[in-house]
Chains A and B, each alone.
Chain A
Amino acid sequence: MKTGDVNNTNVKPKRVLLTKRGVITSVYGNKKVSFRYISPSELKGIRRAAYDYLIK
């Protein structure tokens, strides 16, 4: 597979359940860790134009 082929599909994204502001908190035992979901539109903003050629 060529680099970037991972971007080359038309799969429809499934949504991830979020709490407010995209925070996903997971609890295991007495530990509680928060992660942040980065939305597709935010990722699009982050992605550098130099790599646009990878996305067919």
Chain B
Amino acid sequence: MFDKGYKFNLIDKKSVVNSDLLTTYYYNFRGKRRYIVLVEEYINKVFVVKFYPRAYHDSPNKYNVLVKDYDAARVIKTSIDIMLFLFENNPHASFGFIAANSITETQEENKYYNKRFQIYSQLMADFFSSEIFAHISSEVNSAYLLVNRCHADIDTFTDSVLKMFIRNYPDLETEH
């Protein structure tokens, strides 16, 4: 089901200064409709991957829409292929994502352990070895991190990645 993705192209790249975020890469691909994949490269080679249908570019819910094309498997696999491509070119890369809750005209799914998170976390287990990446998740936030184990002090590195995630994603649910 998740065996085949679409061919993707790098269409743009924007650098940012004075921030944890260094560069944003824009990939596109065409499935049953056109998609944009945003890859944000943060310090320490941490890549955050996001995608949305191009037609929803200006929508505030572009990450939350359900398009009902019955093409999710190939679309998601294309994003995984982009992650594998990035890993090939950056062997020290770590990855992260937050699975968006679905929002339709009539319903809004909870952020907690949402449908996309359940699918994506299964795919992370399927495609990314635990020998190379430490798999770390937050079900409350539907967030997932693949921390590259190449770092000598992985505990310190993991903590710095988590702190960076908290810094850059202020909507994360916190403990009190």
Pairing of A with B: yes
**A contact residues vs B (CB 8 Å cutoff):** 1, 3-7, 9-17, 24-28, 31-40, 43-44, 46-48, 51, 54-55
Partner of A4, one of B127, B147, B151, B162: B127
**B contact residues vs A (CB 8 Å cutoff):** 80-81, 84-85, 87-88, 122, 125-132, 134-141, 143, 145, 147, 149-151, 154-155, 158-159, 162-163, 165-167, 172-176
Q: Chain B binding site: helix, strand, loop or mixed by DSSP?
A: mixed
The 4 closest A-B pairs by CB, nearest first: A26-B162, A40-B130, A17-B155, A7-B129
CB within 8 Å: A-B pair count? 116
18 contacts between A and B (CB under 8 A): A1-B84, A6-B87, A9-B129, A11-B150, A13-B134, A24-B136, A24-B162, A25-B175, A26-B159, A26-B166, A32-B174, A33-B166, A33-B172, A35-B162, A37-B135, A48-B122, A51-B126, A55-B129
